[in-house]
Structure 1
Amino acid sequence: MEARAVDFIMYNVTDLETALPFYRDTLGLDLEEHLAEFGWAEFAVEPTTLALNELDFEGDQGPNAGGAAVALSVDDVEAAIEEVSAAGGTVLQEPMETEVCDMATVADPDDNPITLHHRHDGTAGRRDPFP
């Protein structure tokens, strides 16, 4: 597996509607995408993107559920997960597909989450401008 770029940095938050004004108004970040139904928001922070992910406390109880994660762009999420598993790594979230990407989450040796991410359009790193 070879990481091509950092696609985004993600912070987990307990209440997205409370966090949005802090990041947008207090910190002055440009809100580029807000998907309230998914508890997700993305801000432009050159040279990457800062994403906020609202925790679902029924399902998000794994290691470092309240922390941060980096999303690394890979060519093939399934193959990357197989490689991590074969090396004895921990898979925190099995591969899943969304409208824009495939992703899965693994843990480093200290249980820090790392999202392995592949956009369907083949881009890696910061998308600018966002659609």
Structure 2
Amino acid sequence: MITYQEIAFTAYPVTDIARARKFYEGILGLKPNAPVKPDAKFIEYNIGSGCLAIGSSPNWPPSNDGPSSALEVTDFDAAVATLRQHKVEFVIGPMDTPMCFMATVRDPDGNRLTLHHRKSG
């Protein structure tokens, strides 16, 4: 069984991080939630208890299909086990990043959905 705490983030794919940052930071006034490295491909902006993110990846092009949401799970390993039990194909991961664990799947209509677990600290 998977239990949820909150929506971890909503992410929008972008083709040019520098151009996107000018919009999200320069125009919308958002502040990155961590120092941004020059070669960053993913940037998060905390907004209240939620998070908006932008990311650039060749296998994640922007489209008119909308953003992707990530659901914060309490037990990432159990969530992955549940997905595997149901033979759900992973689009990304499962993966261990410096800040979180995440795995992306598709819903029956092809929409991407990420299960996410923040690391402490």
Residues 19-62 of structure 1: CA distance to partner in whole angstroms, max 9, x if unpaired?
A: 0010111122223232443411111323411111112x2xx16x
User: In the alignment, which of 48, 51, 68 is matched to residue 50 of structure 2?
Assistant: 48
Identify the residue that residue 97 of structure 2 maps to in structure 1: 98
| TM-score of the pair, normalised by structure 1 | 0.76
Identify the residue that residue 37 of structure 1 maps to in structure 2: 39
Q: How far off is 1:111 after superposition?
A: 1.2
Identity in percent? 33
Stretches of structure 2 that go unaligned for 5 or more consecutive residues are none
Stretches of structure 1 that go unaligned for 5 or more consecutive residues are 122-130
CA distance in 2, matches of 1:16, 1:45: 19
Q: How far off is 1:105 after superposition?
A: 0.5
Contact 1:35/1:41 (8 A) holds in 2 = no
Paired AA for residue 106 in structure 2: A
CA distance in 1, matches of 2:85, 2:27: 44
**Does structure 1 residue 85 correspond to structure 2 residue 94?**
no
Identify the residue that residue 73 of structure 1 maps to in structure 2: 72
| TM-score of the pair, normalised by structure 2 | 0.81
Q: 1:9 to 1:75 in 2, by over 3 A?
A: same
Identify the residue that residue 22 of structure 2 maps to in structure 1: 21
Report the count of equivalent residues: 116
